Structure 1
Amino acid sequence: MEKKQYEQLNETIYTETLSNGLSVTLLPKNEFHKTYGLFTTKYGSIDNQFIPRDSDQLTRVPDGIAHFLEHKMFEKEDGDVFNLFGKLGASANAFTSFTQTSYLFSSTTNVDENIGTLLDFVQEPYFTKETVDKEKGIIAQEIQMYEDEPDWRLFFGLLGNMYPKHPLHIDIAGTVDSIMDITAELLHESYNTFYHPSNMNLFVVGKMDPEEMIQLIKTNQAKKNFSEATEIERYFPEETTADIKPFDSIKMAVKRPKSIVGIKGVGRAPEGKGALVYKTTMDLLLALLVGPTSDNYLRLYDTGIIDDSFSYDFSLERTFYFADIGGDTKEPEAFSNVIKEILLTAKVSPELNQAHLVLVKKRMIGQVLQSLNSLEYIASHYSQQNYGEATLFDLVPIIDSITLNQIKVLAEEFMQEKYMSVFHILPKEDSKT
């Protein structure tokens, strides 16, 4: 195993790539009683066009199949995997995002058995026509529930404006119509393509002996046969700036309007450690412009244009990156106009000054250090972020190293009107659109 120490944070990470291609990362935290295990495949909702393993033909699978597959993995011929984890004193869960699917457990006892259960159930699929058809009704209800959720609709409305061709704009669970086309055969095809160990990683954090843990994992994997690793070929449609829809809105049964402003990243997304530096620089820029320490935030809050629902975020993942700023507001048009003005004048904004940057950095570093005391935070974030050799534990020195000039350069490059889009949700009774 390769060992990497972070002396400033008193942390040591162990990594090894097994002979079958599985990437394993171990983070001992022996001062804790709990252990988390996360088993992740780089397969998410956007991966709906690809060349299946043992084929040379591009295929288009139904939207929502990655999420559907996640649901079905817990059901086996002899029962439900949740019950098995429960008997071992563990809680289990799973989630599907745009770019990956993760399965996890947490436990204070029977850690070895739970690791084995996690690896075994994910690597032993079981699908039948009967169980697949039964699941369609369950997931259809979940989709309909999210269709009635205003904040969910606001976010995906913005994605629809910015990414009209890219599958990012499609709900992670798909649509009621699309999931009806999912079959056991298609699930097996997707599973065989994306659930190969070479496309997966296992992350374990908590109380453990790393040497014993890696041996346990190796022994488990040595008992299984896998085909030879091959590179996965995915397909994504080409998009240009001209495809961005500047504005759209819908009416819903909400008491207060909602507005969101998005800025689409154009060009190839940064990769490796450069992606972590880029994301951190953008996080600092947004915090300076509209974070709680900014004059902009106080002004908008005092005038009632924003309230406690106000939030901002920057997402950077495989094939896409974008910023979004939104919330409830009594004046959606005023909200989106003033946010756009703040972003478009970012480079010359008085908010971008050295004293403010020092304050925002201290605040951000404090939040990072506090979060690193939580196994839940580490477990949920570590495997989600793909920054090459860089990790969460590189974040503090990266924050400290970013200069005001770097932030201003990024503001000039990224904050352009042609990259922006606005989406509103208006109350049905008040809407004039």
Structure 2
Amino acid sequence: MEKQSDPLLRDELYMERLENGLTVAVLVKPGYRQMTGRLAVHYGSVDSRFVNPETGEAVHVPDGIAHFLEHKLFESPEGNVADRFAELGAESNAYTTHTHTVYYFTTTDHFWSCLDLLLNFVQDPYFTAESVAKEQGIIEQEIRMYLDDPGWRSSANLLEALYVRHPVRIDIAGTVESIRAIDPDLLYLCHRIFYHPSNMVLFVAGDLAPAEVVERVRQAFAGRRYPAQAGIQRLLPQEPPVIAERRRMQELVVSQPILRLGFKEKEVGLTGRALLERDLTTSLILDVVVGRGSALYTRLYEAGLIDQRFGFEHVPEVTFGHTYLTGPTPDPAELEARLLAGFHQAQEQGLAADDFERARRKLIGRVINLMNDLDSVAFLFADGFFKEIRLFDLLPTLDSLTLEAANERLRNHFDPNLAAASVIYPRR
């Protein structure tokens, strides 16, 4: 069993890969009453084209099937799995992203029963034509609801503007037309391929004994037989180094316009420490240039162009990536122009050393707080695992970042030629 530790946090993480390929990770938190378990699958919405390892043939499944599968796995002949977690006094849920799916529970009691339930229901699919048809109706309503959601549409429109071919531009839930093409056979196929233990990781955290957890997991899989499976070959289109369009506009029921300004990555394919460095560096840049307390933020706020809802985020993935800034504003064009001008000015002047160090210390404090919250640390682990980012690399990587590298990233990433804007206007 591999042991990783963080001297500052005084945390220990134990990891072991079982014979069937499943990775088990245990974060020991002595004295914690709360415990959590997350089963993450390296399967997201962008994985609609792949090579079937059983036949060697290329397969194209309907968009939205990963999200559909997440919903369906909670159904069983005995009833809804969420109700069984609730009977054990646990909170449970799941979510699907562009790149992975996560099932999880958090509890203060009956941990072993919850863990057994988590491991079993995700591996025991139950699909019928009737239940699939029922779910199609439910998800169709969900899709139609999001079509009128300003925040959701703002994000979706930006992705469609930034990306030309990459499937990240397609909604995680798919479309009404695509989910109607889903049937039990396709669900069983995707489950068999992507829910293989070698394509999953189990993370648990709490006052637990790692060896006991690993043995319990090994027993839960003892009666199951999984054929050996090589890494899944995903078939992604070649994304050109340009944006699809400069601006996307839509009218919805909003009190004032919403701007979402994005910058597309020029180069992708990074994993591990290199990807983590890019993400943390970008976060520091955003805080210095346009974070609360910055000169640019103050000017925009005093001009009435932004309010406390203004925010930003860097999205670091292996096959795609971008940064966005967003918020409601009375004048989207003016806000966009001032943001672009603000980043241009920062590129010419460079980041000040004091500002950079202040942002670094702030982010270190935030990371430490997150690492002491079980749900947050579980999210960080699941989000980083398939990118080959180690949990305890966060703080050492933050310490290693340099002002010179940050200024180079500032000049390279925030390129107006790779910027796109999504604007939601009030419906007239």
Band the TM-score falls in, shorter-chain normalisation? over 0.9
- Is the 1:70–1:95 Cα contact (8 Å) retained in structure 2? yes
Aligned identity (percent) is: 36
Residue aligning to 1:361:
360
Higher mean Cα deviation, 162-171 or 237-246?
Answer: 237-246
d(CA) in 2 for partners of 1:376 and 1:298? 33
Aligned to 1:323: 323
Partner of 2:373: 374
2:392 is matched with which residue?
393
Task: Determine the C-alpha separation between the residues in 2 that align with 1:82 and 1:169.
Answer: 31
TM-score using structure 2 length: 0.97
Bigger mean CA offset, 291-300 vs 393-402: 393-402
- Corresponding residue number in structure 1 for 2:53: 53
Please state how far the C-alpha of 1:336 moved relative to its aligned partner: 1.0
User: What's the counterpart of residue 158 of structure 1?
Assistant: 158
Counterpart secondary structure, 2:299? helix
**1:177 shift after superposition:** 1.5
* Contact 1:273/1:387 (<8 A) preserved: no
Partner SS for 2:38: strand
Confirm or deny that 1:188 pairs with 2:182: no
Q: State the distance in 2 between where 1:21 and 1:346 align.
A: 47
- Structure 1 residues 26-37: aligned runs within 5 Å: 26-37=26-37
Structure 2 distance, partners of 1:387, 1:43, is 10
Q: How far did residue 388 of structure 1 move? A: 5.8
1:346 CA displacement: 3.2
Report the equivalent of 1:332: 332
What is residue 411 of structure 2 aligned with on the other side? 412
Q: Which range moves more in the overlay, 369-378 or 82-91?
A: 82-91
Q: Deviation digits for residues 319-366 of structure 1, max 9, x if unmatched?
A: 11100011100110001111122233432236x101111211121111
Deviations 1:241-261 (A, max 9, x none): 345311121111111001111
Aligned to 2:424: 425
Following TM superposition, by how much is the alpha carbon of 1:412 offset from its aligned partner in structure 2, in angstroms?
A: 1.8
Aligned to 1:6: 6
Query: Greater CA deviation, 26-35 or 83-92?
Result: 83-92
Give the residue type in structure 1 aligned to 2:204.
V
1:132-175 alpha-carbon deviations (Å, 9 max, x no partner):
00111111111111111101100111000011321101111111
- Worse overlay, 93-102 or 223-232: 223-232
Q: Gapped runs of 5+ residues in structure 2? A: none
| Aligned counterpart, 1:204 | 204
Query: Offset of 1:390 from its aligned partner?
Result: 4.1
State the Cα deviation string for residues 45-72 of structure 1 (Å, max 9, x = none).
Answer: 1111112231222121111100000000
Tell me, yes or no, if the aligned pair for 1:52 and 1:190 is still in contact at 8 Å. no
Q: Which residue number corresponds to residue 402 of structure 1?
A: 401
What is the match of residue 347 of structure 2? Answer: 347
Q: 5 Å matches for 1:253-264? A: 253-264=253-264
Q: Aligned with 1:50: secondary structure? A: strand
Q: CA RMSD in A?
A: 1.4
Alignment coverage as a number of residue pairs: 428
Secondary structure of the residue that 2:3 maps to in structure 1? strand
CA distance in structure 1 between the partners assigned to 2:409 and 2:386 by the alignment: 19
Aligned counterpart, 1:97: 97
Matches of 2:105 and 2:139, distance apart in 1: 22
- Spell out, residue by residue over 1:254-284, the C-alpha distance to the aligned partner (whole angstroms, 9 max, x if none): 1100111111112223111111111101111
Corresponding position of 1:136: 136
Matched residue of 1:237: which SS?
Answer: coil
Q: 1:101-138, CA deviations, whole angstroms, 9 ceiling, x for partnerless residues?
A: 01011111111111111111111111111110011111
Q: 1 CA distance for matches of 2:252 and 2:78?
A: 44
2:272 match: 272
For residues 162-177 of structure 1, what are the structure 2 equivalents within 5 Å?
Answer: 162-177=162-177
How far apart are the structure 1 equivalents of 2:387 and 2:169?
Answer: 26
Distance (whole Å) between structure 2 residues aligned to residue 59 and residue 11 of structure 1:
43
- Output the amino acid matched with 1:366: G
Distance 1:323 1:271 in 2: 17
Q: How far, CA to CA, are the matches of 1:105 and 1:115 in structure 2?
A: 8
